[in-house]
Structure 1
Amino acid sequence: MSLQTLSEWLRCPNCFLPLSPAGPLTLRCGAGHSFDANKRGYVSLVSGGARRLLGDSTAMVDARALFLATGWYKPLRERLAARVAAENPTRVLDVGCGTGYYLQGVLTRSPDVCALGMDLSPVAVARTVSGRDNIDGLVADVWSPLPVRDASADVILNVFAPRNASEFHRVLRKDGILVVVVPQATHLQELRAAGLALDVPPNKGDHLSETLSPAFELETRDLLSSSLRLDPAQASALIGMGPSAHHTDAEAVAQQLSGLQTVTAAFELLGYRRIPA
C-alpha cells in the first residue's frame, strides 16, 4: 500500500469529499476531516454506530486461512479469476475480502490490476494486505454509504458477503460488473443435517437477482459443485470460518467430528452488469 494509491479510492465518510494524503499516515478531505492510516497497510473509516456490528474474529480468519490453504476451493477461485479477467479490468474492489484468497487469485490472473480489499473486520483486512504492494485496505461497513469514490471500480467482487446494491451501483464505473458468489441449497448439506452449519435459503441466486434489480442485470451464471473428503481438522476449520462460527462452540464441534467427512461444496458464480441510472 501507498497512501497515494489508497487515497485514490476513497472519499470522506462524513462529507463525501475526496480524501488526499496529508502527512506520512494521514488522509484528509477538503473540509478538514482527517483519518489515520494503519502502519500495517490499511485505513479504518467505520462510523461509530457500525463498530457495534460483528466482523470476523481472529479465530474465524485463522480458520479460513487454514481451510483455504487445503485447495478445496481452488476451482472456485480459478473460475472467479477467469470471469474477472474477461473484463480486462484495471481497478477491482473486493467487498468482504476475508483473507484476500479470491482477490489474490484475481491478481495472479490479472497482475496489473489495482485492488482495494474491504471488510468490516480489521483482522481480515490486515491479512489481505499483508505483503501485498498491489492491494490497498479499507475497514468499512457495507450497510453504510461506502467511503469509496464514485465510479472508481471496474469490477466488484462479493464472495459470501453482504451486498449494498445502490452503493455498488454508484461505486462501479459505467458498464462495470458485480461478481457474486453465493451457496447453492446443497452447500454443506451434510454439516447442516448434523446441526453444525446454518441453513441456506432456497433459490438464493434467484432471490439475489430480484434484490439487485433494477440496478443490475444478470449476465452470467455458473454452477459449481463437488464432494470434499475432509479430515476432522479441515471440517472444523470449514465450520469455524463462516457465519456458523458465531453460533457454535469450536471445542464442541471438534468433539462431534471423527474420521473423514464427506461434505458437499456447491456455489453459484453470478455476474451482474451495471445498468445505467
Structure 2
Amino acid sequence: MTLHQLAGGLRCPFCFSPGGQSLPLSPTGSLTLGCEHGHRFDVNKRGYISLLPPRTRVVGDSADMLAARDRFFSTGAYDPIAAAVATAVRDAAPAAPARIAEIGCGTGFYLAAAAERLGSSDVLAADLSPAAVRIAVQRVPDAVGVVLDVWQPLPLADVSRDVLLSVFAPRNLPEFARVLDENGCLVAVVPTGTHLREAREAGLALDVPDGKADDLVTAADPWFAEVARTTVEFTMELDRDALSALLGMGPSAHHSRRDSEYPDGADAVRRVTASVTVLTLRRKR
C-alpha cells in the first residue's frame, strides 16, 4: 500500500460543505496526507488514516467486542452470511475491476470474503473504531483504512466507489449515494425478526423488530432502488465459548455486560437461529 493508493478517493474532512466543492487529499510527506489549504493528516504505519471531524464524541466498538467478533467468526458459524454477501457484491459489481468499500467494517470479515470473490485490489475499510480499521487492513490484502464517523459527511470523494457494503452497521444513505458511481450499488445486511430468537427469548440479546429490510428500502427510496433480496437463515449449534463470543460481539454487549462475563441462563441456549436479509440497492440516477 502506497500513500498514493491511500489518498485515492479521499477528500479533506474540513474543506467541504454539503453540495459544495471538496478538496482531495494527496501525499505531502513520508507519512502524511494533506489538502491545498494546509490541513495535514498523519498516516499510521499500519496503513490507515484517521479523518474524524473535530470534537467527535462518539466511540466505536471496544477491544472486547472486536476480540469476541474475531473468536466467533473463527468458528465458521457465520460463513453462510459471508458467502451470501460475497455473492451479492459480485453480482452488483461492474465488469471492470470494482472499487469496493465497507462502511462499518469491524474486523473486515465480510469485506475479506467480498474482495476475495471479486479479486479486487481497490478495497477500502472504514470504521469509527481505529482498532477495527487496524484489524481489517491486516485481514484484507491491499486494503486501505480510514477512521471516520458515518453520521458526518464522509471524507470520501464523489463517485469514488462502485460498491458499498454495510453489514449490521449504521447507514448514511444520502452520503452513500454521493460516494457511489453512476449505477453503483449498496449491499446491506439487516437481521430479520427471527435472528438470534432463542437468545432473545432467554433475555440474552436485544429485540429485533420485524420488517427491517422493508424499512430500509423505504428509507432509501429517494436515492436507491432495490434490485435484489436474499434471505439467509440457518440454525447454529454453539458451545459455551461460541455463544459468549456471539453475545459479546454485537449491540447487546453495549447494554448488558462485559465480554468476559458469561450471562445467567446461557447454559440453556445451544441452538440459535441466524436469519438475515441481504439487500442490493442500486443508486438512482
TM-score, normalising length from structure 1? 0.96
Cα offset, 1:241, TM superposition:
0.5
Local SS of the residue matching 1:49: coil
- Residue number in structure 1 paired with 2:161: 153
- Residue number in structure 2 paired with 1:139: 147
TM-score, normalising length from structure 2? 0.93
**Which of 261, 267, 272 is equivalent to 1:258?**
267
- Residue number in structure 2 paired with 1:13: 13
Q: What is the root-mean-square deviation of aligned Cα atoms in Å?
A: 1.4
Local SS of the residue matching 2:43: strand
| Structure 1 residues 200-215: aligned runs within 5 Å | 200-215=208-223
Output the amino acid matched with 2:35. Answer: C
Cα offset, 1:260, TM superposition:
6.0
| Alpha-carbon distance between aligned partners in 1 of 2:69 and 2:116, rounded to the nearest angstrom | 20
Q: Percent identical across equivalent pairs?
A: 47
| Alpha-carbon distance between aligned partners in 2 of 1:220 and 1:14, rounded to the nearest angstrom | 36
**Aligned: 1:109 with 2:109:** no
Output the amino acid matched with 2:80. Answer: P
| Alpha-carbon distance between aligned partners in 2 of 1:111 and 1:42, rounded to the nearest angstrom | 21
Local SS of the residue matching 1:134: coil
- Residue number in structure 2 paired with 1:272: 281
| Alpha-carbon distance between aligned partners in 1 of 2:84 and 2:139, rounded to the nearest angstrom | 24
**Which of 61, 69, 75 is equivalent to 2:74?**
69
- Residue number in structure 2 paired with 1:30: 36
Contact 2:105–2:111 at 8 Å: present in 1 too?
A: yes
| Alpha-carbon distance between aligned partners in 2 of 1:261 and 1:2, rounded to the nearest angstrom | 46
Contact 2:125–2:133 at 8 Å: present in 1 too?
A: yes
Cα displacement string for residues 48-74 of structure 1 (whole angstroms, at most 9, x for unaligned residues): 332x21310111000001001111111
Output the amino acid matched with 2:224. Answer: F
| Alpha-carbon distance between aligned partners in 1 of 2:14 and 2:205, rounded to the nearest angstrom | 38
**Which of 49, 52, 61 is equivalent to 1:46?**
52
State how many pairs are aligned: 275
| Alpha-carbon distance between aligned partners in 2 of 1:101 and 1:76, rounded to the nearest angstrom | 10
Local SS of the residue matching 2:38: coil
Cα offset, 1:261, TM superposition:
0.8
Q: Flag as ranges the 4+ runs of structure 1 deviating above 6 A.
A: none
| Alpha-carbon distance between aligned partners in 1 of 2:274 and 2:146, rounded to the nearest angstrom | 29
Contact 1:96–1:162 at 8 Å: present in 2 too?
A: yes
Cα offset, 1:131, TM superposition:
5.8
